[in-house]
Amino acid sequence: MAGKFVSERNIKFLLYDVFDIESLTNYPYFSDHNKNTFNMVLKAASKLAKDKLFPVFEEMDRSQPELVNGEVVVHPSVRDILHEYAEGGWISSIFPYDVGGEQLPSMITEVCHFIFACANYSAGAYSGLTSGAAGLIISFGNKALYDRFVPNMFSGKWQGTMALTEPEAGSSLSDIRTVAEPTDGDYYTIKGQKVFISAGDHNCVENVVHLMLAKIKGAPPGVKGISLFVVPKKRMENGQLVSNDVTTSGVFHKMGYKGCPIVQLDMGDAGDCRGWLVGEPNNGLRYMFQMMNEARIDVGLGANAMATAAYYASLEYSKSRLQGRRASEKEPTKPQVPIIEHADVKRMLLFQRAINEGALALLMQCSKYVDLLQVLPEVEKENIHLLLELLTPVAKSYPSEMGIQAISQGLQCLGGSGYCDDYPLEQYYRDARIHPIHEGTTGIQGMDILGRKVIMKNGRAFVLFQEEVVKTVQAAEAYPELLPFSKKLADALQRCRNITAHLLTVAQSQGIEVFLADAVLYLEMFGIVTIAWQWLKQGVAIQKQLGGKVSKNDLHFFTGKMVVLRFFYSYELPKISGLEERLLESDGLTVKAGTDCFID
Smallest distance from the beta carbon of 25 to a second copy, in angstroms? 26
Measured distance CA(392)–CA(395) in Å, rounded: 5
Smallest distance from the beta carbon of 149 to a second copy, in angstroms? 27
**Which CB atom, from 501 or from 589, has the smaller least distance to a second copy?**
589
**Which CB atom, from 357 or from 371, has the smaller least distance to a second copy?**
357
**Which CB atom, from 24 or from 404, has the smaller least distance to a second copy?**
404
Tell me which residue of 142, 297, 163 sits closest to 228, measured CA to CA.
Answer: 163
**Which CB atom, from 547 or from 574, has the smaller least distance to a second copy?**
574
What is the phi/psi pair of residue 159, to 5°? Answer: -85, 140
Smallest distance from the beta carbon of 166 to a second copy, in angstroms? 11
Measured distance CA(265)–CA(233) in Å, rounded: 10
Tell me which residue of 476, 461, 448 sits closest to 540, measured CA to CA.
Answer: 476
**What is the per-residue DSSP string for 75-123?**
-THHHHHHHHHHHTTTTTTTS-GGGT-----HHHHHHHHHHHHHHHHHH
Q: Cα-atom radius of gyration of the chain, to the nearest Å?
A: 24
Smallest distance from the beta carbon of 283 to a second copy, in angstroms? 17
94 close to 101: Cβ distance less than 8 angstroms: yes
For residue 430, give Cα distances in angstroms to 259, 421, 434, 444: 12, 11, 8, 22
Measured distance CA(251)–CA(161) in Å, rounded: 15
**Which CB atom, from 242 or from 420, has the smaller least distance to a second copy?**
420
**Which CB atom, from 184 or from 596, has the smaller least distance to a second copy?**
596
**Which CB atom, from 380 or from 513, has the smaller least distance to a second copy?**
513
**Which CB atom, from 76 or from 560, has the smaller least distance to a second copy?**
560
Do β-strands 207-216 and 66-68 pair in parallel, antiparallel, or remain unpaired?
A: unpaired
Angle between helices 106-140 and 143-154 (to 10 degrees): 140
Measured distance CA(267)–CA(264) in Å, rounded: 10
Outline where 434-588 has alpha helix (H): 442-448, 456-476, 483-510, 512-517, 519-547, 552-567, 575-583
Smallest distance from the beta carbon of 201 to a second copy, in angstroms? 16
